[in-house]
C-alpha cells in the first residue's frame, strides 16, 4: 500500500525562446507511435529521468509447469526465447481458427483472434427500442455493464464483432426492397456498424456491404437489391446480416466513449414482403455464434526459415521467434491477433506490490505507415477493484491506447539493447498475477490515419526475448509519461508566425473527440500517469527567459512557483516546482 502524500517529481525543461515541432501523430486513440530509441522512462522519487533498466529490476519470462495451479507460468529471473520447446504443441486440426501445423502453444503462450467474438450482446431487447417496445439491440444493460465493470455503465464494449442474421428465399426474378430503421453510436472512424448480404446463403463467398457507418446517426435505410449485383441471380437462399465492430479502446467499457444506447439499434426491417417489428418475438433473426474469425496466425518459426531482413541490421533476435502471418495471405485485412503469455505470479515470486512494470522485447519490423500494419502490446492482471461495484475482478486486456510502428525503413533493435515499454500506469501496483499480450493488427480497410492503404503486407513483425521487468519499492510510487502526454511544440497562441506573440504548449491527445474532427482540438495539459493512490506529483522545471518574454508577467508566475535551490546547485540555472492536479 502506498503511504499518503508521497511526492514524486517529474522533470521538464521549459524554454520560452525557440522551439521546434515534430510532425504530429494524427489520431488520439490507437495512434501510431514510434517508440524512442531509449525507454520512455518513468519518474521515481529516486531517479527522475533515468533511461535504463533499474538496478532492482527482476525479470519474469520462460516457462515451467506449476503443479499447484495446474498451468504454465513464468520463471523469475528469466525471459521467453521461444527456443526451449517447453509448453509448446502443434495444432493438428482441433482448432478450426488456426492453420494446421501452426503452434497451438508457444512456450505456454496461446493465440487470440480478437475478431472471434462470441459475446451474446446483439439480441431482441426492450432497451433503447426505436419504436414500440422492442428492437434488435447491440449493447449491454446497466446490470450487465456493472457485472462487467464497464466504466460508464450501459452501452457497448471493446473488441466486439457481433452479427445478427436471418435467411430469406429468393425466387430468382426481380429486385428485392430492403428497408430498416436504425440508430447507432460508435466511436468515430474506429468502430463501425454495417448491413450486409450473403448472396450465397451459406457463407461460401464474402458478404456484400449494403450500409456502413461510424460515429452517431439515425434514420431509415432504403436499399434495392439487384440480381447479379447485390442479390443472387438464381433462385435460392440469401442472408441479411447486421454487424457491429469495435476496436480495443474507446467505448463504455473503458469510459472513453460513453454512450446511452450502445452501438446499434435496428427496427422495422422489411425484406420484400416480410416485416419484422420484434414486438412479438425475434421473427427468425438470431445472433451468429462464429467458430472462426479472421484467423489466429500466432506461431513460432526459425529465423532462418523466414524472409531475410531487407537490409542488414544487427538484430537481437536469435533462433526461434514469435510471428503472426498467414503463409498464403501475409496479414489479412482486419487481422487483430495477439499471443497471450503464461501467467506471471508476482505473489509467489515475492514481487507483488512493486509498482514498476517494464515490458522488454526484441523486434524486427518492416512496417511502413501506409501498410497500416501495427504492433500492439497489452496486459491483464488480477486482482483489480472495480470502481463501479467495489468487487474484485480480473481485468480485460489493457494498453496505452497506442499502436506501434518502427519507421519507414527496416528496423531491428541491436543485441543487448531490447525495446523497453513502461506499463506501470497500466498495471496497478496491487497486481499479483499478470499476463502479457504481444501481437499486431491490420487497419487497412478503415484507413483511420488518413493516408490511403498500400495493401502491402509481409511477414513482420518478429518478436523474441520477451520479459516483464518488475522494479521499485511498494513505498515509492512510479509515474511515467508517453510521447503523447508531453508537450510537443510551442507555436504562437494567436496562430501567427510572429516571434513576439505569446507562446502556447500542445500535446498530442485530442480533446473533444477520439480523433481529429470538427470541434476537436489538441490538448494542452501535461499528463503524468501511474498507480499512486493518494500521491502528490510535482512538476519540476527550469525557465530561461527569451528576449520577447514579458518580464512583469513572468515575475507574476514565478511568485506562485516553489523554488528548488538544491536543483539550482546540482544542475545550474533557476529551477522551480509546482503541484500537478491529481
pLDDT in tens, 302-354: 998 998 776 666 788 999 999 999 998 899 999 999 999 999 999 999 999 99
pLDDT of residue 126: 97
Cα–Cα distance, 254 to 233 (Å, whole number) = 45
Residues 567, 571, 573, 578, Cα dihedral to 10°: -40
Extended strands (E) in 246-372? 264-271, 274-276, 286-287, 299-302, 320-323, 336-340, 344-345, 356-365
User: Is the pLDDT confidence value at 534 over 90?
Assistant: no
Across 6-34, average pLDDT = 37
pLDDT band at 538 (very low <50, low <70, confident <90, very high): confident
Cα–Cα distance, 136 to 441 (Å, whole number) = 30
The SS3 call for residue 143 is helix
Buried b (16+ CB within 10 A) or exposed e, 304-329: eebeebeeeeebbbeebbbbbbbeee
Average pLDDT of the chain, as a whole number:
87
The SS3 call for residue 389 is coil
Output the pTM of the full model: 0.82
pLDDT of residue 386: 92
Give the residue, 161 or 520, on which the prediction is more confident: 161
* Residue 117: all three cell numbers together: 467474438
Helices (H) and strands (E) in the chain, counts: 4, 41
pLDDT of residue 513: 63
Residue among 119, 121, 114, 72 at smallest CA distance from 97: 114
Of the listed ranges 133-142, 169-178, 368-377, 445-454, the least confidently predicted one is 445-454
Residue among 357, 134, 54, 387 at smallest CA distance from 253: 387
Q: Are 359 and 463 in contact (CB under 8 A)?
A: no
What's the length of the chain? 582
Cα–Cα distance, 314 to 252 (Å, whole number) = 44
Residue pointed to by grid coordinates 422489411 = 270
DSSP state of 253: T
Cα–Cα distance, 360 to 557 (Å, whole number) = 41
User: Is the pLDDT confidence value at 27 over 60?
Assistant: no
Amino acid at each position: 500500500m502506498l503511504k499518503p502524500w508521497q511526492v514524486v517529481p517529474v522533470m521538464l525543461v521549459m524554454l520560452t525562446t525557440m522551439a521546434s515541432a515534430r510532425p504530429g501523430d494524427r489520431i488520439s486513440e490507437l495512434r501510431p507511435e514510434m517508440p524512442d530509441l531509449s525507454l520512455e522512462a518513468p519518474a521515481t522519487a529516486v531517479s527522475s529521468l533515468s533511461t535504463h533498466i533499474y538496478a532492482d529490476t527482476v525479470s519474469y519470462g520462460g516457462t515451467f509447469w506449476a503443479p499447484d495451479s495446474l498451468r504454465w507460468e513464468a520463471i523469475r529471473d528469466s525471459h521467453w526465447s521461444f527456443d526451449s520447446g517447453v509448453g509448446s504443441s502443434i495444432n493438428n486440426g482441433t482448432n478450426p481458427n488456426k492453420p494446421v501445423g501452426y503452434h497451438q502453444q508457444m512456450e505456454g503462450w496461446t493465440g487470440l483472434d480478437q475478431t472471434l467474438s462470441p459475446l451474446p450482446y446483439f439480441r431482441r431487447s426492450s432497451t433503447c427500442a426505436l419504436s414500440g417496445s422492442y428492437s434488435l439491440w447491440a449493447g449491454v444493460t446497466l446490470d450487465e455493464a456493472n457485472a462487467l465493470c464497464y466504466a460508464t455503465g450501459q452501452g457497448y464494449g471493446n473488441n466486439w464483432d457481433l452479427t445478427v442474421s436471418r435467411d430469406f428465399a429468393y425466387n430468382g426474378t426481380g429486385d428485392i426492397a430492403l428497408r430498416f430503421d436504425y440508430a447507432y453510436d460508435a466511436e468515430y472512424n474506429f468502430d463501425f456498424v454495417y448491413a450486409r448480404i450473403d448472396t450465397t446463403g451459406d457463407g461460401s463467398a464474402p458478404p456484400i456491404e449494403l450500409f456502413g457507418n461510424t460515429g452517431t446517426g439515425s434514420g431509415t435505410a432504403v436499399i434495392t437489391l439487384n440480381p447479379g449485383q447485390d442479390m443472387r441471380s438464381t433462385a435460392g437462399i440469401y442472408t441479411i446480416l447486421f454487424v457491429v465492430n469495435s476496436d480495443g479502446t474507446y467505448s463504455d467499457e473503458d469510459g472513453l466513449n460513453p454512450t446511452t444506447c450502445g452501438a446499434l439499434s435496428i427496427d422495422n426491417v422489411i425484406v420484400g414482403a416480410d416485416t419484422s417489428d420484434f414486438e412479438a418475438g425475434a421473427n427468425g433473426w438470431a445472433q451468429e455464434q462464429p467458430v472462426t474469425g479472421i484467423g489466429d496466425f500466432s506461431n513460432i518459426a526459425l529465423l532462418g526459415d523466414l524472409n531475410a531482413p531487407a537490409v542488414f541490421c544487427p538484430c537481437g533476435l536469435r533462433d526461434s521467434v514469435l510471428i503472426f502471418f498467414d503463409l498464403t495471405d501475409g496479414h489479412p485485412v482486419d487481422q487483430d491477433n495477439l499471443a497471450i503469455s503464461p501467467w506471471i505470479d508476482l505473489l509467489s515470486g515475492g514481487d507483488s506490490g512493486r509498482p514498476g512494470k517494464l515490458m522488454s522485447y526484441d523486434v524486427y519490423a518492416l512496417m511502413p505507415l501506409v501498410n497500416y500494419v501495427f504492433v500492439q502490446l497489452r496486459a491483464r492482471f488480477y486482482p483489480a477493484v472495480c470502481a463501479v461495484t467495489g468487487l474484485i475482478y480480473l481485468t480485460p486486456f489493457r494498453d496505452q491506447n497506442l499502436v506501434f510502428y518502427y519507421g519507414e525503413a527496416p528496423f531491428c533493435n541491436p543485441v543487448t539493447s531490447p525495446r523497453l515499454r513502461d506499463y506501470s500506469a497500466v498495471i496497478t501496483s496491487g497486481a499479483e498475477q499478470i499476463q502479457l499480450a504481444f501481437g499486431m493488427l491490420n487497419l487497412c480497410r478503415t484507413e483511420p490515419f488518413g493516408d490511403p492503404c498500400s495493401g502491402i503486407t509481409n511477414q513482420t513483425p518478429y518478436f523474441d526475448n520477451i520479459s516483464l521487468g518488475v522494479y521499485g519499492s511498494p513505498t515509492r510510487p512510479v509515474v511515467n509519461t508517453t510521447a503523447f502526454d508531453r508537450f510537443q511544440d510551442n507555436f504562437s497562441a494567436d496562430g501567427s508566425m510572429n516571434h513576439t506573440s505569446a507562446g502556447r504548449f500542445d500535446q498530442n491527445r485530442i480533446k473533444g473527440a477520439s480523433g481529429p474532427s470538427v470541434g476537436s482540438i489538441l490538448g494542452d495539459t501535461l499528463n503524468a500517469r501511474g498507480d499512486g493512490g493518494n500521491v502528490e506529483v510535482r512538476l519540476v522545471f527550469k525557465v530561461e527567459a527569451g528576449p520577447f518574454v514579458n518580464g512583469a508577467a513572468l515575475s507574476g508566475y514565478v511568485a506562485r512557483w516553489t523554488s528548488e535551490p538544491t536543483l539550482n546547485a546540482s544542475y545550474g540555472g533557476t529551477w522551480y516546482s509546482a503541484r500537478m492536479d491529481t
